[in-house]
Chain A
Amino acid sequence: MIQENVFQEFGRKSFQNLKKWMVGAALACLTTTPALASDTRVALVPGGPHPYFAAWEKAGQDAKRDFGLSGADYRVPQKWELSQQNQLLESLLTQGYNGFLIFPGDPVGTNSIASELTAEGTPVIALAGCLKQPTPAVFCLGTDTGNSAYLGTKELIKTLGGKGKIAHFTGFLVDPNTQLRIDAVQKAANETGGAVEVIQVIADIDAPEPAEEKINAFLAAQADKVDGIVTTAWVPAVVAANSLRKIGDKRIKMVGIDHDEVVLKAIKDGYVHGTMLQNPYGQGYIGSFAMDKLRSGCKVNQNAPFKTTALTNQFIDSGTAFVGRDKVDTYIGAMEAVTKDLMASFESTYLVCN
């Protein structure tokens, strides 16, 4: 009984956190008209456990209520392994889910399971990360990660006065977004004509232990040589923010990513210059809405203003925003506004419904 209470209490705490840092209040603004009951049962499936995707759970719950879906459930593979994600997806199909919002475990490898799912008549949308074309996914809804990394690096370069040496800490090499981020940071540096140099890229550190070990090793060796740090993955941002706080170095400027409490506090305290927010709630909410529309007869508008990335030419940007010290207390409002804008015109822009 005590154990049960502990788990319930932990669960409550997690839920409270979720409510606090995501757009709980946004629903009233986003809701269109209450929908009739739909038989759409959506599964929101990330590549593995990661705090970034936690907002998808609430987004699914809200979408279920607002659009009258039969279900919109967040289901997490136990590990970041393509095989585990594939097994979970197959299992969910047999359980009756009929629409899938998937963060691809691999931009190419996930296409085979996506084909299996669509062959059964269940649409697939790539969420937060894209599948490489040709793909059965109807479109990709996510952060334009390359653009976010580019804008974040530009912010860093601006605060450095247009010159200096920077380091880039990023995520899993198997993440389809990682190479895009590496290229984007390099592009922003190249545009300075050599005034800014990327002296090191440390990747595959979106897990606590390797991030801690490698970022600290880097700072121990290069802290006096580096002027700025850009992080484009959640865990490296947290670890780097803590490391800069620990060594007490406010000379090194850092631009992080996402909205972890550690990063936000470091921004307030002046150890981190700012962070590039993404919009996981908006992805889950709008993705569930779009899935229901597709299942109820709407088609993708082939003339919609899709963006083109290295992986797909059917990309929809779920939004990104830089948040510095001046906006750190009101960041939720910034992302609510982005979601509201996208939602307002989504159906008319990207879908054709009779």
Chain B
Amino acid sequence: MPLQKLLKTEWSGLLLVVILAIMLIGYLKPSFLTPFNIQILLAAISVNMVIALAQMLIVGIGQMNLSVGAIGGLVAISFAGLMDVFQLPIPLAVLVGLLIGLAAGLFNGVIIAFTGISAFIITLASLSVFKGINLGITEAQPFYGVAESVKSFGNSSLLGTLPLLIIPMLVCLVGVWVLLNRMRYGRHLLAVGASPTAASLVGISVRNIVIGTHALSGLLAAVAGMMVVARLQIGQPTIGDDWLILSFAAPVIGGAVLAGGHVNVIGTLLGVTTIAIITQALVLFEIDPFIVQIFLGLLILWAVGINRLRDLRLTLFSKPA
């Protein structure tokens, strides 16, 4: 991509932030760029990116999915529980996990589409339902009997630096990118996000798009849940509890408009990367645990600010003389 074209992309400011952060931290803390640390960083990015994609699609239609973490957590303990209790073969456990995620997403989508009640309210309620099922099944106890090959998948790497978890992430990333940029469904999705009324007037079924997008979101949350099980090697009932802020922060840092109609897959990837680097830097620089949250918030604001600065500069320079 020619440099000028690259600079005009909406995520170029964020890319600059990421590159600068890597260079600066690598200079100050050489251990940051060791193969093992890069592997750790990429594993975190892989899981978090799938979580962010699950929310990004919903943001694309101008809605919110507060139950992303609860769906991921429910799938995680189901996936681990099926292997632990029933010794289900891994492909079958994965399939059931995906179906649970799909069903949970459909549940959200159908209720939102047919009742017209705000997605915020519906997913807030379903969050409670899915988490309640999780606690009912596990009684807050983890499932330990995760298959060895699943554990191995979550903790192995290619060439010492590329975790295998990057594979499902790339599949999801490419799939969502193609959906949004090369398929009619993706254009309809963004049209519904920009203006449901206008979309409806040109013949797009808003109801179908809402249901389908929530189903996809559930599916992606399911993939993320199973990836976390592979990484942690156990089915912890609290998986997913921490996803909500990240799931919104990464797409928004990456340029998504919360009102809907505009999202960016590469921007979201850079948003996830920014948050992962900041999180790791706080550990590397031994920041006092009681003020970590302050630093995290300020650094995210800084990253978003640089991207916004780039937007303003582009707007100024593109004005006719």
In the bound complex, residues from chain B placing their C-beta under 8 Å from that of A15 are 139
Question: Chain A nearest CB: distance from B119 CB in Å?
Answer: 20
The residue that A262 contacts in the complex, of B31, B155, B228, B234, with Cβ under 8 A, is B234
B150 within 8 A of A: no
Q: How far is the CB of A281 from chain B (nearest CB, A)?
A: 14
Q: Does A323 contact B (CB under 8 A)?
A: no
Chain B residues numbered 195-245 whose CB sits less than 8 Å from any CB in chain A:
228, 231-234, 236-239, 241-243
Segment with Cβ contacts to A, from B1-9, B52-60, B282-290: B282-290
**Restricting to A19-70, which residues have a CB under 8 Å from any CB of B?**
49-51, 53-54, 57
Specify which chain B residues have a CB less than 8 angstroms from the CB of A53 in the assembled complex. Answer: 140
Residues of chain B from 268 to 321 with CB closer than 8 A to chain A in the complex: 276, 279-280, 283-284, 286, 289-290, 292-293
A213 in contact with B31 (CB, 8 Å):
no
Chain B binder among A200-208, A295-303, A325-333 = A200-208
Q: What residues of A have a CB within 8 angstroms of the CB of B132 in the complex?
A: 78
A79-B241, A221-B32 known; A208 and B139 CB under 8 Å?
Answer: no
The answer on a CB contact under 8 Å between A49 and B283 is: no
Chain A residue nearest to B84 in the complex (CB): A13
B40 near A: Cβ within 8 Å?
yes
Docked-complex contact B29 and A221, CB < 8 angstroms: yes
Interface size on B, residues (CB 8 A): 54
Chain A min CB distance to B83 (Å): 12
B106-145 CB mask vs A (1 if < 8 Å, else 0) is 0000000000000000000000100111011111111110
Tell me if A125 is interfacial: C-beta within 8 Å of chain B.
Answer: no
Question: Of A133-141, A187-195, A235-243, which stretch is located at the interface?
Answer: A235-243
**Cβ of A121 under 8 Å from chain B:** no
Chain B contact residues: over half helix, strand or loop, or mixed? helix
Is A317 interfacial (CB-CB < 8 Å)?
Answer: no
**A212's contact among B140, B231, B276, by CB below 8 Å, is which?**
B231
Determine the chain B residues whose CB is within 8 A of the CB of A173 once the complex forms: 289-290
Decide: B131 and A209 in contact? CB cutoff 8 A. Answer: no
The complex places the Cα of A76 from the Cα of B279 at a distance, in Å, of 30
- Interface pair A242/B283, CB less than 8 Å apart: no
The answer to whether B283 touches A214, judged by C-beta atoms less than 8 angstroms apart, is yes
Proximity string of chain A (249-267) to chain B, C-beta cutoff 8 Å, 1 when within and 0 when not: 0000000000011100000
B36 and A220 form a contact (CB under 8 A): yes
**Min CB distance, B266 to chain A, in Å?**
22
Q: Are B242 and A210 in contact (CB under 8 A)?
A: yes
Is there a chain A Cβ closer than 8 Å to B105's Cβ?
A: no
Most buried by B among A13, A50, A201: A13
B44 at the interface (CB under 8 A from A): yes
Separation of A47 and B228 alpha carbons in the complex (Å): 24
Contact B286 A51 (CB under 8 A): no
Q: How far is the CA of A15 from the CA of B242 in the complex (A)?
A: 27
B37 at the interface (CB under 8 A from A): yes
Q: How many A-B residue pairs have CB under 8 A?
A: 126
Whole-angstrom distance between the alpha carbons of A213 and B128 in the complex? 26
Q: Is B292 a contact partner of A204 (Cβ separation < 8 A)?
A: yes
Q: B155 touching A217 by the CB < 8 A rule?
A: no
Contact A221-B135, Cβ < 8 Å, known A50-B140, A262-B234: no
Asked if A208 and B238 make an inter-chain contact with CB atoms under 8 angstroms apart, the answer reads yes
Given contacts A213-B44, A213-B279, whether A76 and B140 have CB atoms under 8 Å apart is yes
Query: Knowing A54-B141, A78-B131, A221-B37 touch, does A7 contact B280 (C-beta < 8 A)?
Result: no
CB within 8 Å for A246 and B155 given contacts A13-B84, A221-B284: yes
Q: Is the C-beta of A96 less than 8 angstroms from some C-beta in chain B?
A: no
A11 contacts B by Cβ under 8 Å:
yes
Does B284 contact A11, Cβ atoms closer than 8 Å? no
Point out the residues of chain B lying under 8 angstroms from A349, CB to CB.
none
Give CA–CA (A29, B264) in the complex, Å: 64
B33-49 residues at the A interface, CB under 8 angstroms: 34, 36-37, 39-41, 43-44, 47
Residues in A whose Cβ lies below 8 Å from that of B86: 9
Q: Are A10 and B137 neighbours in the complex by a CB distance under 8 Å?
A: yes
Inter-chain CA distance A9–B37, complex, in Å, is 40
B254 at the interface (CB under 8 A from A): no
* Residue of B128, B236, B243 with most partner-chain A CB within 10 A: B236
Residue in chain A with minimal CB distance to B237: A49
B153 to chain A, nearest CB (A): 13
Residues of A within 8 A of B39 (CB): 220
Are A212 and B137 touching (Cβ within 8 A)? no
A209 surroundings in chain B (CB, below 8 A): 47, 228, 239, 242-243
A218 to chain B, nearest CB (A): 5
In the complex, which residues of chain B have a beta carbon less than 8 angstroms from the beta carbon of A220? Answer: 31, 34, 36-37, 39-40
Closest B residue to A208 by beta carbon equals B236
Distance from A211 Cβ to chain B, minimum over Cβ atoms (Å):
9
A49: contacting residue among B34, B238, B243, B279, CB under 8 A: B238
CB distance from A224 to the nearest CB of B (A): 9
By beta carbon, the residue of chain B nearest A221 is B31
Enumerate chain B residues within 8 angstroms of A151, measured Cβ to Cβ. none
Q: Which of B29, B84, B139, B238 contacts A11, CB < 8 Å?
A: B139
Contact with B142, one of A6, A51, A79, A242 (Cβ below 8 angstroms): A51
List, sorted by A's number, 5 A–B pairs whose CB atoms are closer than 8 Å: A13-B85, A14-B137, A79-B241, A213-B279, A214-B280
Contacts A13-B84, A214-B280 known; 4 new A-B pairs at CB < 8 A: A14-B137, A173-B289, A213-B40, A262-B233
Footprint of A on B, CB under 8 Å?
29, 31-32, 34, 36-37, 39-41, 43-44, 47, 81-82, 84-86, 128, 131-133, 135-144, 155, 228, 231-234, 236-239, 241-243, 276, 279-280, 283-284, 286, 289-290, 292-293
